Amino acid sequence: MSKELKGSLVAIVTPMRGDGTIDLSAFDRLVDWHVDAGTNGIVVVGTTGESATLSIQEHCDLVSHCVEVAGKRIPIIAGTGSNSTDEALYFTKSAAEHGADAALLVTPYYNKPSQEGLYQHFKVVAEAVDIPQILYNVPGRTACDMNLETINRLADLENIVGIKDATGDITRGHELVQRCGDRLKVYSGEDAITLALMEGGADGTISVTANVIPSLMSEMCELALAGDFAAAAEVDSRLALLHQNLFLEANPVPVKWALAKMGLIAPGIRLPLVELDVKYHAQVTAALVQAGVSFPEAA
């Protein structure tokens, strides 16, 4: 992956059967769909891919499989983060060995490291594994917030080429672009504010919404990158309900339900997550309809 990767990068789901086993045939169809729809990159085994409940072997095997299926038609970014530095090293080395174009490393969750601990964690991985690396800051999930000064220090490391900012703070995102945008690609990690961040100079998004309407997310990002923010806003208005309603329960519960309703995957998900509560079905369906998504009449 070059430092120029921009646009709509999908945080792809991991399709599963009713018993929780991974459905590789459905996964392959999703990869092909994203290639055809103009998605600019695939992030595999990230949060949306249920990395938290995949075994180590499943994690590494799915990255390898994704790279093989993609066949260099689209960049593949492997989720390789962990709250254990040794495990993050293992996943990142495995991703590099299997031909991934880049790695996405979440801030260590649960441990609550200091800012110096965060810096040393990412520095160790960056210096040990020769693969482009994207930082991932999502304090709402990790109870760990990487501050701008730490990101600024990490931006000087050669292998660290980008950051997924999922703080949900537009002002902070704009400041991140201003301070580090000359050295890092900045990707939105919150679909609802992607356009606002791109107006401030962000390079694209690592998106949940792109799972169900990849062509529109790609179009919106392409227009924003071209500076046509009025046209981008028109496209984004069709996606606004999806940006909201795909988070009515914890990601990826709503998006996997939506994809199942569209007939693209089976309704499988692993405990402790369960299928979307029926009280949210109408809201997610309304968001799909507003975006112009097609799904089988009987679904």
| Both structure tokens of 66 | 């994704």
Helix H or strand E segment including 136: strand 133-137
| Both structure tokens of 244 | 């909201």
- Give the pairing type, strands 133-137 and 76-79: unpaired
* Residues involved in catalysis: 136, 164
- Phi, psi (rounded to 5 degrees) for 273: -80, 145
- Phi, psi (rounded to 5 degrees) for 47: -55, -50
* Alpha carbon distance 187, 206 (integer Å): 6
**E strands along 82-140, which residues?**
102-106, 133-137
Q: Which of 50, 40, 47 is nearest to 14 (CA)?
A: 50
DSSP conformation class of 165: E
Distances (CA, A) of 224 to 17, 51, 212, 229: 37, 30, 20, 5
